[in-house]
Every structure is written in structure tokens, then in C-alpha cells.
Amino acid sequence: MHVFPFVVVAWILIVGLYGIITSRHLIHQIVCLIVVQSSTYVLLLGVGYKTGAVAPYFYDIPPNTPAVDPVVQALALTDVVVEAAVTALLLAFAVQAHKRFGTLDPEELRQFQG
């Protein structure tokens, strides 16, 4: 049980990379990139967890209650929102690619070779 969440992290990363590499559709490829980043969220949050501790919000509990690590939660929080925006940028690229190339297959985007 100590190590299982981290095995999940590695699995998500590999699956995401497999998706990117075997993808034949840009939208699918970009979503697989999201999957790759999700593995980092699980890792960050898993690293900061403490068994038996509460969330670090002390509005209605005394300030000295053992709480989980707030730093990784702050990092993951901003990362999630930022990733959504960056994905939007990549999807905008995909929209333009469809307009210019007529296809969304990464194998067909061979404007440059060598």
C-alpha cells in the first residue's frame, strides 16, 4: 500500500506516452498529453499525503491539527488550470492544422522533412 499510488503514477505516464506515440488523430494526441500531465498531479498529491491528517483549512478546526502538505496542493491547483489553457492553445493549433492540411493525422503533417 505504501507504493501502490506511485506505481499508478508510472502506469499513467507510460499509457499517456503510448497514446501520443501511436496516435493518428491530433485531438487524441493532445488529450494523451493531458494524461501525461495527470501522472504528475497524482505524484505531487501522493507525495504530500499524510495518513490520518485533514485538509489544510483551519476555518473550523484548531490551527494545530495535523494537516496534509498544502504546498503540493497549491502547486497542483495552479497547474490544473494552466494546463487547461495550454491545451486550449494546442487545440487551436489543431483547428488551424485541419484548415490548412485538411487532415488531423500526425503522419500526414509532413510539410518538412530532413
Partner 1 sequence: MTPRQRRWIFLVAAAGMLVFYLWGLVGLPGFGHYPGPYGDIINAVAVGQTHATGVVSAVNFEYRGFDTLGEEFILFTAATGVATVLRHLREERDTAAEDENSDRQVPVTSDAVRMVTLAFIGPTLVVGWYLATHAQTSPSGGFQGGVVLATAFVLVYLAGQFIVFKRLSPVDLTDAVDAIGAGSFAVIGVAALGTGAAYLANFLPLGSSPGAVNSAGTIALISFCVGIEVAAAFVLIAGELLEQTLIIREGDR
Partner 2 sequence: MDSLLPLAVVVPLLGAAGISTANPLFGHRRWLLDAVAILVAAAVTGMLVTIMLGTVGGQRVYWFAGFPPVHGVALGIDFAVDQLNAGLAALTALLVTAALVFSWRYFERVATYYHALMLVFLAGMVGFCLTGDIFDLFVWFEVMGVAAYALTAYRIEERGPIQGALNFAITNSVGAYLSLSGIALIYGRTGALNMAQIGQAIAGHPPDGLVVVAFLLILMGLLTKASVAPFHFWLADAHAVAPTPVCVLFSGVMVELGLYGIARVYWSMFAAGLGHQASITAILLSLGVLTAVVGALFCFRQRHLKRLLAFSTINHAGLFLIGIALLTPLGLAGAAVYVLGHGLVKAALFLCVGIVLHRLGSINETSLHGRGRRLPLTGAVFLLAALGLADLPPFALYLGAGWIGHSGDSLGMHWITAVVMLTSALVGAAVLRVAGGVFYGIGDPPSEDPHMAEEASEETSETDEAKGRTPLSMIVPPAVLVGLAIAAGLLPHLGSLVQSGAVRFQDQAAYNATVLAGAQLAHPVAIMPTEDAAPTLTDVITGLGTVAASLVLALISLYWRRLPVLRRGYEPGTGLVGPIRRFQSGVVNDYVTWIVIGLACLGGALAFTIIR
Task: In angstroms, give the least distance from the CB of 31 to partner 1.
Answer: 15
Based on CB atoms, which residue is closest to partner 2, 60 or 85?
A: 85
**In whole angstroms, what is the distance from residue 1 CA to residue 14 CA?**
21
- Cβ pair 81, 69 in contact under 8 A: no
According to CB under 8 A, which residues from 37 to 76 bind partner 2? 37, 39-40, 43-44, 47, 71-72, 75
Handedness of CA 85, 90, 94, 96 (dihedral sign): positive
Task: Decide which of partner 1, partner 2, none touches 31; Cβ closer than 5 to 8 Å per partner kind.
Answer: none
For 12, 13, 54, 105, the CA distances from 38, given in Å and listed in that order, are 8, 8, 23, 24
104 binds partner 2 (CB under 8 A): no
Rule CB under 8 A: which residues touch partner 1?
1-7, 9-10, 13-14, 17-18, 21-22, 24, 46-51, 55-59, 63-64, 67-75, 77-79, 81-82, 84-86, 88-89, 91-93, 95-96, 107
